[in-house]
């Protein structure tokens, strides 16, 4: 949800800063199929085919992050995408070191009102003795707020990088902006 908020804010800021949202259509991504496959795997594992934690589900979930990081690496010259890549890599490290689950603190989960996952695969959950727990979902949007959820430092970097990419593209060519990215 943090990413969605960052994207909406960046899209709203472009015209306010006298940029042009049509400039986003000029972005040319290399190997976009990598990102499409990564998103498809995540949607399948988490939303469309939820179920117990299995080796296949875990492999697909980790592979989705690997594909996303590969996409970001080949597109690293686009302003903001290096930052998105660092955030995605940090999330992948935290998830990979914790048996395929993004570790979340009990305090963050409680604040956000996120219930325990039970036997269903969860992309974020409390992991006793989590490795590199500080890279996990340690921040929370309170349950009483819209879009309540937990998030990580990696998620913050992803959101900032995505916003940067949108602003850099939308403000490109402005007379008072030589190189916004």
- The tens digit of pLDDT for each residue in 25-35 reads 989 999 999 99
Quick one: DSSP state of residue 114?
A: P
Q: Which residue has the higher pLDDT, 102 or 48?
A: 102
Domain for residue 108, yes or no? yes
Domain for residue 72, yes or no? yes
Half-sphere exposure of 121 (CA within 13 A, CB side): 25
Which tokens belong to 80?
Answer: 């903001």
Whole-number mean pLDDT of the chain? Answer: 90
Half-sphere exposure of 39 (CA within 13 A, CB side): 6
* pLDDT of 179: 53
Q: Which structural domain range is residue 114 located in?
A: 2-10+35-169
Q: How many domains does the chain have?
A: 1
* pLDDT of 181: 53
> Cα–Cα distances in Å, from 85 out to 6, 65, 70, 72, 129?
16, 10, 9, 6, 27
Domain for residue 63, yes or no? yes
Domain for residue 90, yes or no? yes
* pLDDT of 173: 61
The DSSP code sequence of 120-155 is B--SEEE-TT-TTGGGSB-EEE-TTSTT-EEE-HHH
Domain for residue 51, yes or no? yes
pLDDT exceeds cutoff 80 at 50: no
Domain for residue 175, yes or no? no
Percent of the chain residues topping a pLDDT of 70: 94
Domain for residue 30, yes or no? no
Domain for residue 143, yes or no? yes
């Amino acid at each position: 949800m943090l990413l969605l908020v960052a994207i909406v804010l960046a899209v709203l800021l472009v015209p306010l800063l006298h940029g042009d949202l049509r400039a986003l259509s000029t972005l040319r991504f290399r190997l976009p199929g990598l990102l499409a496959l990564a998103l498809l795997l995540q949607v399948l594992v988490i939303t469309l085919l939820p179920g117990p934690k299995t080796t296949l589900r875990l492999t697909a979930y980790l592979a989705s992050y690997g594909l996303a990081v590969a996409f970001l690496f080949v597109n690293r010259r686009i302003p903001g995408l290096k930052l998105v890549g660092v955030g995605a890599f940090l999330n992948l490290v935290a998830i990979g070191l914790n048996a395929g689950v993004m570790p979340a603190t009990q305090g963050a989960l409680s604040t956000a009102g996120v219930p325990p996952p039970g036997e269903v695969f969860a992309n974020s959950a409390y992991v006793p003795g989590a490795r590199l727990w500080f890279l996990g979902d340690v921040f929370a949007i309170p349950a009483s707020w819209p879009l309540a959820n937990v998030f990580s430092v990696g998620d913050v970097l992803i959101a900032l990088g995505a916003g940067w990419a949108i602003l850099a593209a939308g403000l490109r060519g402005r007379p008072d902006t030589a190189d916004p990215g």
